[in-house]
Structures are given as structure tokens and as C-alpha cells.
């Protein structure tokens, strides 16, 4: 008896084929998406180029591709609209990147300013830092702000930021224009003047007219050298085209917040710095960094000019330099360790004395659970050098 396909059988075969086709279609799409994602990830597809092509198409070629306005060897990054010169009209700030090498790609910036001449044109100005240095390496941001005693009523601040949002570069610009309207300016008649450029691996802050720049010095204990700049004649530079002014002060501080509470100070150099940062401000805390004998001798006694000066043992101190060569073996054995400092004292009446150089001896005191060697460090002696 010959077998004949029943309508039910044909139906189920067709159903099977249909669901297989659907699964195949689905898989095919997933593969295409994956291939596109991989191609995009490894730079075989330039999404921006496609964006511009589409914009060009939909705007009937009335669109200007910003990539065409930056030098050929550089890559357009982003655009911001801000009124940088305070004339009530928006300028475009175009950020571009130099060639990307090993993940680093320094930033530059150009200002595009649409003028009101006839015919209207676009004036372009580069935001150039001192020595034509790059403005940032990882991320960039721009801000309008009036820094008191600097420039005019409004400055243009370009911030460089790390991937974790620490502000590591700052360029301050001021708009100037000594040219006749709608006439091509002679060199130096019109543009954005760089009033200062700062770079610090530990972060940059503005406090009134002062700029505080931190440089990470001792990575393991998070110490930083902080330089403070103050403007003279409205600028942080020695002359309009000159180098930066020297910092008004330079001191060693913590990169981040000071280590509190006291027992969490694990590194010898950190304890010594914490002592100097606390003395004169919080002498009770400063006392905690000394051994009981050292506290009796240096803080309560009249030992001499050791920590500060005779009779001035509670004056504020500023650490100018700190030197310590980590010796993990000695640290592990809780042995006496020397940290060298250069300190300036600031008396309550404002008098500054010093700098004085000391070898500060610290010793590990056992403390269960303190990282990394179950000890914390106490100052046992100040040795004047
Ligand atoms: Ca404007
Ligand atoms: Ca200002």
C-alpha cells in the first residue's frame, strides 16, 4: 500500500518550515547586528561619517560638515554653543583631537564666530594655551565664569578631565578686539588671549582669584604637592606673551581628604604630614600622631625650636617638602623610620618663620587590624638638620 501525505502532515511540515525560517531570519539578524557591532567597535564603521551623509542628504546639501572645518590631520570631536565674547550672539566652540596614539588623543579647540558683515562670514579663532600645549588628554569641558581680578567681566575656562572626572587641566581665556569692525584684523588685534594654563595630576580648583593645582607625589600614601597661583595685573602670566607666574605657595598636602580617624594612618610619611597639617588647627589631633613621651616633650614642654619655635609649638605649619624612601622590611618590623621634611611656621599673628628642615623619626605601634602590618605610626623624635 503506497503512503500518501495527509493534509495534516503537509500542514505540520509547512508549519515546521515556517518556524525554521523565522528562527533562521532571527539568527541572521542577530549575526548581522553582531558583525556591525564588532565592525563599529574596531573602527571599521565610522558612525559619524554616516550621520553626516544622512544629514547632507536630508538637508539637501545645505549642511556644513564640521569635520571639513578642522585641519585635515585632526578629528572633529564635539561642538558647544556659547556666547564667549559677551555680544549676545552664540559662538560655536569646536573641539577636535589630534591623532590618537595608544589611547591618548590630545584636544584642541576652535571658536567659530558668525560676523555681521556683508557678506556674512565665519571668523575663526583657535583657543591656544601657552606654548601651544594641548588642552586635555581624555575629556574636555568649557565654562563661562568671571574670575575676580582676572581678565574682564567674563572669562572662558576650558577644563581637561580624566576618565574619572578629575579636573587636571585648566586654560583661562579672555576675548579681546582692537580691530575695526568688518576689516581683517592685523595679528594680535582680535582673538582669545590665554591668561593662564595649569596642569596637575591631583586636580585643579579655583578659589576666588586663586588657582590651586595638585600634583600627585606619593601615590601609595596619596600625598600631593599643591601649588597656589594668584593673578598679577589681571593675568597668571608674567607678561602678555610671557611664561606663567611662579606659584605664591607650594606645600605638601593630601591628594584627597585628610586621613581621619587617626588610627587609619598606615604609612609613616602620611602620619608625619597629618601631624603638620593638624598642628595649630587641631592640636588635640596633632597630639595623637606623637608617642606619649614625644607629646610630653615637644608639645607640653619647652624643648626648643623643634616642631616649630620656642613657645610657638602650636603655630600652624606648612610642609614644603617631604622625603621618604619606603622600606617595606622596616615597616613590617615596626622599626624606627626617618621622614625628612622642610617646614615653614605660621604664627597666630601672621609672622612666617623658616623654612626649617627636620628628620622626623616615627615608630610603629602595634595595633591589631591596622593595614597593612597591624601597626600605626607615631612620631617619637624631631631631629633638627
Ligand atoms: Ca558672542
Ligand atoms: Ca574676570
CA 183, 189, 193, 195 dihedral sign is negative
Domain check: are 164 and 226 in the same one? yes
Does residue 367 fall inside a structural domain?
Answer: yes
- For residue 235, the CA-to-ligand 2 centroid distance in Å is 10
Q: Give the span between the Cα atoms of 344 and 375, in whole angstroms.
A: 29
C-alpha cell at 370: 591596622
- The least confident of 23-32, 58-67, 295-304 is 295-304
Of the pLDDT bands very low, low, confident and very high (cuts 50, 70, 90), residue 325 is confident
pLDDT above 80 (res 157): yes
pLDDT above 80 (res 220): no
- For residue 209, the CA-to-ligand 2 centroid distance in Å is 9
Q: Give the span between the Cα atoms of 111 and 89, in whole angstroms.
A: 13
Q: Give the span between the Cα atoms of 384 and 331, in whole angstroms.
A: 23
How many Cβ atoms from other residues are within 10 Å of residue 274's Cβ?
24
Residue range 229-285, pLDDT digits in tens:
999 999 999 998 899 999 998 888 887 765 555 545 678 888 898 888 888 778 788
Domain check: are 249 and 284 in the same one? no
Cis peptide before 372 (omega within 30 of 0): yes
Contacts of 171 (CB under 8 A, 6+ apart): 127, 129, 135, 157, 158, 194, 196, 197, 198
Q: Which ligand is nearest to the CA of 114?
A: 1
Cis peptide before 261 (omega within 30 of 0): yes
Residue labelled with grid coordinates 587641566: 169
Position 308 scores a pLDDT of 47
Spell out a b/e string for 156-166, using b for 16 or more CB atoms within 10 Å of the CB, else e: bbbbbbeeeeb
Q: Provide the greatest CA pair distance for the chain.
A: 122
Task: Say whether 145 sits in a helix, a strand or coil.
Answer: strand
Domain check: are 218 and 309 in the same one? no
pLDDT above 70 (res 163): yes
- For residue 152, the CA-to-ligand 2 centroid distance in Å is 4
Of the pLDDT bands very low, low, confident and very high (cuts 50, 70, 90), residue 217 is confident
Position 264 scores a pLDDT of 57
Does residue 139 fall inside a structural domain?
Answer: yes
- Mean of all residue pLDDT scores within the chain: 85
Domain check: are 279 and 243 in the same one? no
Domain check: are 93 and 201 in the same one? yes
- For residue 115, the CA-to-ligand 2 centroid distance in Å is 25
- For residue 156, the CA-to-ligand 2 centroid distance in Å is 10
Domains identified in the chain, total number:
2
pLDDT above 90 (res 301): no
- For residue 81, the CA-to-ligand 2 centroid distance in Å is 21
Position 142 scores a pLDDT of 97
- For residue 65, the CA-to-ligand 1 centroid distance in Å is 21
Residue range 140-152, pLDDT digits in tens:
999 999 999 999 9
Position 303 scores a pLDDT of 46
pLDDT above 50 (res 310): no
Choose the final residue of a domain: 254, 283, 298: 254
Does residue 319 fall inside a structural domain?
Answer: yes
Position 127 scores a pLDDT of 95
- For residue 234, the CA-to-ligand 2 centroid distance in Å is 8
Does residue 209 fall inside a structural domain?
Answer: yes
Does residue 279 fall inside a structural domain?
Answer: yes
- For residue 216, the CA-to-ligand 2 centroid distance in Å is 29
* φ, ψ for residue 284, nearest 5 deg: -65, -40
Please compute the mean of the pLDDT values over residues 64-87 and round it to a whole number. 87
Residue range 327-384, pLDDT digits in tens:
888 888 888 999 999 988 877 777 888 888 989 999 988 877 776 677 788 999 888 8
Does residue 37 fall inside a structural domain?
Answer: no
* φ, ψ for residue 162, nearest 5 deg: -80, 175
CB distance 135 to 128 below 8 Å: no
- For residue 245, the CA-to-ligand 1 centroid distance in Å is 30
- For residue 381, the CA-to-ligand 2 centroid distance in Å is 48
Q: Give the span between the Cα atoms of 220 and 324, in whole angstroms.
A: 12
Domain check: are 237 and 120 in the same one? yes
Task: Say whether 35 sits in a helix, a strand or coil.
Answer: helix
Choose the final residue of a domain: 254, 289, 310: 254
Task: Say whether 358 sits in a helix, a strand or coil.
Answer: strand
Choose the final residue of a domain: 254, 281, 308: 254
Position 305 scores a pLDDT of 45
Contacts of 338 (CB under 8 A, 6+ apart): 324, 359, 360, 361, 362, 383
Helices and strands (DSSP H and E) totals, the chain: 6, 16
Domain check: are 322 and 346 in the same one? yes
- The least confident of 127-136, 142-151, 291-300, 333-342 is 291-300
CATH number for position 294: 3.10.450
Domain check: are 330 and 250 in the same one? no
Does residue 295 fall inside a structural domain?
Answer: yes
Of 294, 293, 250, the C-alpha closest to 272 is 294
- For residue 123, the CA-to-ligand 2 centroid distance in Å is 24
Domain check: are 199 and 310 in the same one? no
Residue ranges making up the domain that contains 208: 47-180+189-254
pLDDT above 60 (res 3): no
Domain check: are 246 and 291 in the same one? no
- For residue 49, the CA-to-ligand 1 centroid distance in Å is 29
Domain check: are 103 and 202 in the same one? yes
- For residue 81, the CA-to-ligand 1 centroid distance in Å is 9
Position 312 scores a pLDDT of 45
Q: Give the span between the Cα atoms of 361 and 76, in whole angstroms.
A: 55
The three-state DSSP-derived secondary structure of 213-225 is EEEEEECCCCEEE
Q: Give the span between the Cα atoms of 127 and 362, in whole angstroms.
A: 50
Q: Give the span between the Cα atoms of 375 and 267, in whole angstroms.
A: 9
- For residue 145, the CA-to-ligand 2 centroid distance in Å is 7
Does residue 38 fall inside a structural domain?
Answer: no
- For residue 154, the CA-to-ligand 1 centroid distance in Å is 12
Secondary structure E strands in 270-336 = 316-323
Return the percentage of the chain with pLDDT > 70, whole number.
90
Q: Give the span between the Cα atoms of 183 and 193, in whole angstroms.
A: 20
Task: Say whether 60 sits in a helix, a strand or coil.
Answer: coil
Domain check: are 84 and 209 in the same one? yes
- For residue 188, the CA-to-ligand 1 centroid distance in Å is 19
CB distance 324 to 355 below 8 Å: no
pLDDT above 70 (res 307): no
Position 221 scores a pLDDT of 72
- For residue 87, the CA-to-ligand 2 centroid distance in Å is 16
- The least confident of 88-102, 218-232, 250-264, 314-328 is 250-264
Amino acid at each position: 500500500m503506497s503512503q500518501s501525505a495527509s493534509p495534516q502532515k503537509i500542514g505540520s511540515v509547512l508549519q515546521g518550515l515556517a518556524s525554521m525560517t523565522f528562527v533562521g531570519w532571527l539568527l541572521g539578524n542577530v549575526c548581522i547586528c553582531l558583525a556591525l557591532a564588532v565592525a563599529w567597535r574596531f573602527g571599521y564603521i565610522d558612525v559619524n561619517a554616516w550621520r553626516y551623509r544622512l544629514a547632507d542628504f536630508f538637508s539637501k546639501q545645505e549642511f556644513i560638515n564640521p569635520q571639513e572645518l578642522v585641519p585635515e590631520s585632526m578629528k572633529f570631536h564635539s561642538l558647544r554653543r556659547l556666547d564667549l565674547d559677551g555680544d549676545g550672539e552664540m559662538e560655536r566652540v569646536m573641539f577636535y583631537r589630534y591623532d590618537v596614539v595608544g589611547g591618548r588623543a590630545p584636544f584642541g579647540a576652535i571658536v567659530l564666530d558668525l560676523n555681521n558683515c556683508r557678506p556674512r562670514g565665519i571668523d575663526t579663532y583657535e583657543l591656544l594655551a601657552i606654548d601651544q600645549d594641548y588642552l586635555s588628554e581624555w575629556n574636555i569641558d568649557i565654562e563661562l565664569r568671571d574670575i575676580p581680578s582676572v581678565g574682564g567681566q567674563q572669562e572662558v575656562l576650558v577644563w581637561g578631565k580624566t576618565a574619572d572626572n578629575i579636573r587636571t587641566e585648566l586654560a583661562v581665556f579672555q576675548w579681546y578686539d582692537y580691530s575695526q569692525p568688518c576689516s581683517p584684523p592685523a595679528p594680535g588685534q582680535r582673538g582669545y588671549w590665554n591668561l593662564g594654563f595649569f596642569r596637575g595630576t591631583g586636580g585643579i580648583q579655583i578659589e576666588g582669584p586663586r588657582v590651586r593645582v595638585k600634583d600627585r607625589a606619593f601615590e601609595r600614601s596619596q600625598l600631593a604637592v599643591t601649588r597656589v597661583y594668584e593673578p598679577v595685573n589681571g593675568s597668571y602670566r608674567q607678561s602678555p606673551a610671557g611664561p606663567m607666574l611662579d606659584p605664591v605657595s607650594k606645600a605638601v598636602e593630601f591628594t584627597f581628604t585628610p586621613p581621619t580617624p587617626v588610627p587609619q594612618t598606615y604609612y609613616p610619611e602620611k602620619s608625619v604630614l597629618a601631624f603638620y597639617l593638624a598642628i595649630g588647627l587641631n592640636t588635640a589631633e596633632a597630639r595623637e600622631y606623637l608617642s606619649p613621651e614625644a607629646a610630653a616633650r615637644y608639645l607640653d614642654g619647652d624643648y626648643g625650636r623643634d616642631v616649630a619655635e620656642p613657645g610657638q609649638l602650636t603655630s600652624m605649619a606648612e610642609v614644603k617638602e617631604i622625603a621618604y624612601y619606603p622600606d617595606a622590611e622596616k615597616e613590617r618590623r615596626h622599626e624606627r623610620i626617618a621622614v625628612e621634611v622642610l617646614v615653614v611656621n605660621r604664627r597666630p599673628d601672621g609672622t612666617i618663620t623658616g623654612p626649617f628642615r627636620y628628620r622626623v623619626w616615627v615608630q610603629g605601634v602595634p595595633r591589631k587590624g591596622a593595614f597593612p602590618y597591624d601597626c600605626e605610626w607615631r612620631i617619637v623624635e624631631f631631629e633638627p638638620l
